[in-house]
Amino acid sequence: MGTHLGSKFIKLYNGYLLPSVGLGTYQLFGDSVREVVDKAIFLGYRHIDTAHSYNNESEIGEILKSRVDSGSIKRRDIFLTTKLPAVLHEPRDVLYCIEESRARLKTKYLDLVLIHNPWTLKPTDSKGGLQFVQFNLQKTWHSLETFVKEGSVKSIGLSNFTIGQIQNILEGCSIMPANLQLECHAYLQQRSLQDFCKARGITLTAYSPLGAHGRPERHRFTDQPVLLDDPALDSLAQAHDKTKAQILLGWLIQRGFCVVPKSKSDDRLAENFDIFDVNLNESELAQIQAMDRGIRYFKFKNMTGHPEFKPTEDF
């Protein structure tokens, strides 16, 4: 699954380096996202994860441009990931999306663009109505490939795809997916997807690596325990003089994942980045492996009935 360089970077199959700890920016807006990105860069984060649908690319672009213009960072040292939304899968819409994301992020190129979800949606009215559409995402993928060939996008990948949906892309692609982003944490360990991707040289990025405790109400269900409250983590944190969050992130890094935790707190931003010395032994790794419960925090129940929504499969 890519080459590990002192755990701080993962080498993608095309040679680019993906910083293994990134900043997640879902649900961060306006001044809040400006402050968090600025602080994260100061702390050493060099990977920023956003999406066209997060509505915060412009603010992230402002901070990055100001830091580059001031000379405190170089653009080539920042790894920018963004994502193509479900309503922009048509080839003409891919062009619009890439150009808009580049303009908002104030950059000539994007380091990684992911197809955010495999389920295609079509707007039906101006009030937010959406229609489920069956669409061959090989067409979307071919459009993304043209941007890689011209150099305005360095790498392309997928998010929330099942093994079958990844295979569909692999069967029709001329440029391989470099990365798969998926929900992954100790309660949802995603071993079958990891094995599948590892065999094909596709790296993995774990979103919600700490259990998505800040997720919106529509993704909250009564059968979802709080990962960070699990007592199994207490002894591990104590043994390593780390917080439970640092153990969970360090464990994913040790498994070869990139992680994109999110926080508004300066202390937690620093804590989430201070994980490269977490080194769990075999019995400790087995202890976390035993925590796997198949609990998904983002169930996407609003996609029920979509032909590409497959909740019984791993994604």
Q: What is the pLDDT of residue 2?
A: 54
Q: What is the pLDDT of residue 128?
A: 77
Q: What positions carry a catalytic annotation?
A: 54
State the DSSP code for 160.
S
CATH 3.40.50.300 is right for the domain spanning 3-231+254-303: no
Neighbours of 55 (CB within 10 A): 15
Q: What is the pLDDT of residue 3?
A: 52
Q: Which tokens is 153 given? A: 């996008």
What string of DSSP letters covers 224-290?
Answer: ---GGG-THHHHHHHHHT--HHHHHHHHHHHTT-EE----S-HHHHHHHH--TT----HHHHHHHHT
Proportion of the chain in helix, strand, coil states, percent, rounded to 5: 40, 20, 40
Q: What is the pLDDT of residue 75?
A: 97
State the DSSP code for 141.
H
- Domain ranges for the chain, please list them: 3-231+254-303
Q: What is the pLDDT of residue 291?
A: 98
pLDDT tens-place string over residues 60-112: 999 999 999 999 999 999 999 999 999 999 999 999 999 999 999 999 999 99
Residue identified by tokens 């790498």 is: 155
Q: What is the pLDDT of residue 7?
A: 86
This prediction has a pTM of 0.96
Separation CA 78–CA 152 (nearest Å): 15
Q: What is the pLDDT of residue 223?
A: 80
Q: What is the pLDDT of residue 59?
A: 98
Q: What is the mean pLDDT of each run of 10 residues along the chain (315 residues)?
A: 68 97 97 98 98 98 97 97 97 96 98 98 85 96 98 98 98 97 98 98 98 89 92 97 98 97 96 96 97 96 95 94
